[in-house]
Structure 1
Amino acid sequence: MLQAVLFDLDGTLLQMDTEDFMNEYLKELSQTVASVVEPGRFVRALLASTNAMLVNRDPALTNAEVFWADFRTRLGDCITDLEPLIEDFYAHKFINLSRVARPCPQARRAVQAALDRGLRIVLATNAIFPRSAIRDRMAWAGVADLPWELVTGYEEMHFCKPHPEYYREIAELLELKPEDCLMVGNDVQKDLAASTPGMRTYLVTDYLINPTRVDYQKLADGYGTLAELAGWLAGAGREKIEQEKQAVERVRKFVQVFDPNLEPIEFKEDTSTVEEAARTLGVEPGRIAKTLLFRAGEKYGLFVMAGDVRVNTKKVKALLGGGKPRMATPEEVEEITGYRVGGVCPFALATDIPIYLDESLQRFDVFYPAAGTDRSALPVTFAKLQAITGGTVVDVIK
């Protein structure tokens, strides 16, 4: 069940062009310390030490410890005079950078939508700034006074985006499973990386960062403007997240009664079609098991076959009887199977209907039916699937 929403800050809740902000930030900070160190040298050292934080994977060191240890090696000859100037900049001058940002009322509405549904909230900005600089930017966004359970400053965090350890650390601090969290952000690479440890994701598109032009619609669980996020959290988006988690868990529990070693695989990519699933798994299309629900009159039957074959409706009719068979509608599929189209698993069904396993699957040692969602699969043998489903072996292909 969804229990917490993680909100990115820059470009998500705080509307700004991140590149413009960083240029102004570096300009202001380097001018502040110009009496102690040449601005060009200072900026080079600052960026290098920031990169040391970004690449660090040592859980024993906070990001602040990594930054200052590296920074002192680069500017050790003037660090004593430099440190108080940097502290003064964050205490009194950083706030002037608010001119680069544009507050947006939708930010508060989106966070409030999560709170109204009893969800915990986390300000999950990349942990490369001091706490005070994050609080200033939260104030610019109009969300500083909300009951944030965690704000990811560099003083506390041990990892940065897009490392999966960053997201796992947040889940651990919340004492939640990653699967119980939703990450909301605008950066395809850094924020959608939350899906690696199992978090769900929503991509805010107002100030989208997508330099490699990835098809994010296939990666994110939801996407849209910040204004649309509140509605998404209130309605179908949140419901979809919870239903999908429950569906995969139902499949997992069901199969492990038969074999504890059977485990569904979940993907970031959409695997709702044979082609997409085969590409994601790196197998030939035939190994993707299609699970199709047919209706003939008032009778239903679930047919499982190889992904590279086509069904013969005359053979389906002979098995089901009744009138001319047709493919079930998406609504019928969800009602009868308990799964949505693109993610139908051939067992742990919502209703008791006959299951037919086509012979075309017997040529594979392992194949992959969906495991309850359009981003999942279950590696299984024909004999194991027959034992699990109690299905009848048939020939229903052309």
Structure 2
Amino acid sequence: MLQAALFDLDGTLLQVHTQDFMKEYIKEIARAAAPVVDPGRFSKALWDSTGAMLANRDAALTNAEVFWNDFRSRMADCHEALEPRLNDFYANEFKKLARAVDTSPLARQVVQAALDRGLRIVLATNPLFPRSAIFDRMAWAGVADLPWELVTSYEDMHHCKPYPEYFLEIAVRLDLSPGDCLMVGNDVPKDMAAAAVGMQTYLVTDYLVNPDQVDYRALVDWYGMLDDLCRWFTDGGWEQAVYDSLAVARVRRYVKEFDAGLAPLVFSEATSTVEEAARALGVEPGMIAKTLLFRAGDQYGLFVVAGDVRVSTKKVKALLGGKPRMATPEEVEEITGYRVGGVCPFALATDVPIYLDASMQRFDVIYPAAGTAHSALPITFEKLKDITLGTVVEC
């Protein structure tokens, strides 16, 4: 059960493109160091020592210790004169960089919504800055005074994103399983790496960072704009969202045993009907694989059918041995383990005969639901047959 929400800061709660902010930050801190050292030399040393922090895997050292050990070696001739200037910069000048960011009341609203849901909150920014600078940025976002259980800064943390140790350290400090935590962020390679340790993930797309242009729908549990996230926390679909996450995770784990290249896609919009799914995927309706549960007496049968095909009642009757009817929503959930609109034809709750519509073989790829009404699994007909052990029939 979800118990904690971990919020990234830059690009998530704080409306800024990180690269743009870093340019202003480097310019200003180099200016503060200029009376002591050439700005070009200083900037290079700062970047290199920050890189040492990012690469650190030694749990015995805090990020601050890694940074300063590296930085002092690069600035051996002047670090004693530099350090008080840098301390003064963070105490008095850093806050002036507020001019480089935009703010939105949504940041506070979304964190408050998480609190109102009973979730513990963590400010899970990449811990590359001193605590004072992080709290300045939190103040710009309007969230500094909220009851954060943990704020990750370079004084306290021993790892950085995207290493799994960063996310695991947070879970340990909260005394929670990673699966009880939701990582909210805008950076696909850094923030969504939380999924690798079992955390649930929500990708905020307002200031999306996706340098490799990956299809993040196959990586994250949910995604949307910051206002979507606020509604996600506050509306009546909260319980459904948690249920959906578990269902998709079940499908994801199951298919990995057969083919590591298979991965569910998740959507911000509903895909519970053939038309909705086809529109979301940009494919023809026939490629959407409907999964329908029929009952005849005490016998159930699960039929996976092309989206443009109607199942023959006579065929179902012949296969199930009696007059069939569509299963009720309650029966669907009991027999399959999924709710109507999101039934995946495998990783089922019970052992039920599966019948595959032969007409789906005309497509190179088909798209059954992946456990929820907001998901789909791209798969070939042959792979689907191998996984389900289904019987191919003419529907």
Judge same fold: TM > 0.5, yes or no. Answer: yes
**Compared with structure 1, are the counterparts of its residues 371 and 140 closer, same or farther at alpha carbon in structure 2 (3 Å cutoff)?**
closer
* Alpha-carbon distance in structure 2 between the residues aligned to 1:70 and 1:357: 61
1:245, distance to aligned residue in structure 2 (A): 5.9
Q: Identity across aligned pairs (percent)?
A: 57
Matches within 5 A, 1:34-45: 34-45=34-45
* Alpha-carbon distance in structure 2 between the residues aligned to 1:208 and 1:233: 20
* Alpha-carbon distance in structure 1 between the residues aligned to 2:171 and 2:36: 41
2:269 alignment counterpart:
none
* Alpha-carbon distance in structure 1 between the residues aligned to 2:29 and 2:249: 50
Structure 1 stretch 328-337 or stretch 19-28: which is displaced more? Answer: 328-337
Verify: 1:338 aligned to 2:337, yes or no: yes
**Compared with structure 1, are the counterparts of its residues 372 and 395 closer, same or farther at alpha carbon in structure 2 (3 Å cutoff)?**
closer
* Alpha-carbon distance in structure 2 between the residues aligned to 1:12 and 1:111: 11
**Compared with structure 1, are the counterparts of its residues 346 and 18 closer, same or farther at alpha carbon in structure 2 (3 Å cutoff)?**
closer
Verify: 1:270 aligned to 2:264, yes or no: yes
1:63 alignment counterpart:
63
Deviations 1:15-61 (A, max 9, x none): 11211211110011001011111000000000000001111111111
* Alpha-carbon distance in structure 2 between the residues aligned to 1:233 and 1:186: 17
Question: What is the aligned length?
Answer: 344
**Compared with structure 1, are the counterparts of its residues 226 and 144 closer, same or farther at alpha carbon in structure 2 (3 Å cutoff)?**
same
1:227 alignment counterpart:
227
2:154 alignment counterpart:
154
- Residue 76 of structure 2 aligns to a residue whose secondary structure is coil
Deviations 1:65-123 (A, max 9, x none): 11111111111110110111100000000000000111210000000000001100000
2:294 alignment counterpart:
295
* Alpha-carbon distance in structure 2 between the residues aligned to 1:171 and 1:139: 25
Normalized against structure 2, the TM-score is what? 0.75
Deviations 1:318-364 (A, max 9, x none): 232344677x6988734653314354556535xxxx722679xxxxx
**Compared with structure 1, are the counterparts of its residues 78 and 223 closer, same or farther at alpha carbon in structure 2 (3 Å cutoff)?**
same
Verify: 1:397 aligned to 2:389, yes or no: no
* Alpha-carbon distance in structure 2 between the residues aligned to 1:85 and 1:125: 25
1:348 alignment counterpart:
349
* Alpha-carbon distance in structure 2 between the residues aligned to 1:266 and 1:235: 35
The CA RMSD measured in Å over matched residues stands at 3.9
Is the 2:264–2:370 Cα contact (8 Å) retained in structure 1? no
**Compared with structure 1, are the counterparts of its residues 211 and 336 closer, same or farther at alpha carbon in structure 2 (3 Å cutoff)?**
same
**Compared with structure 1, are the counterparts of its residues 247 and 61 closer, same or farther at alpha carbon in structure 2 (3 Å cutoff)?**
same
- Residue 355 of structure 1 aligns to a residue whose secondary structure is coil
Query: What stretches of structure 1 of length at least 5 have no aligned partner?
Result: 256-262, 273-289, 360-368, 377-384, 387-392
2:137 alignment counterpart:
137
Normalized against structure 1, the TM-score is what? 0.74
* Alpha-carbon distance in structure 2 between the residues aligned to 1:331 and 1:214: 37
* Alpha-carbon distance in structure 2 between the residues aligned to 1:63 and 1:244: 36
1:210 alignment counterpart:
210
Is the 2:121–2:147 Cα contact (8 Å) retained in structure 1? yes
Query: What stretches of structure 2 of length at least 5 have no aligned partner?
Result: 267-288, 357-367, 378-386
2:283 alignment counterpart:
none
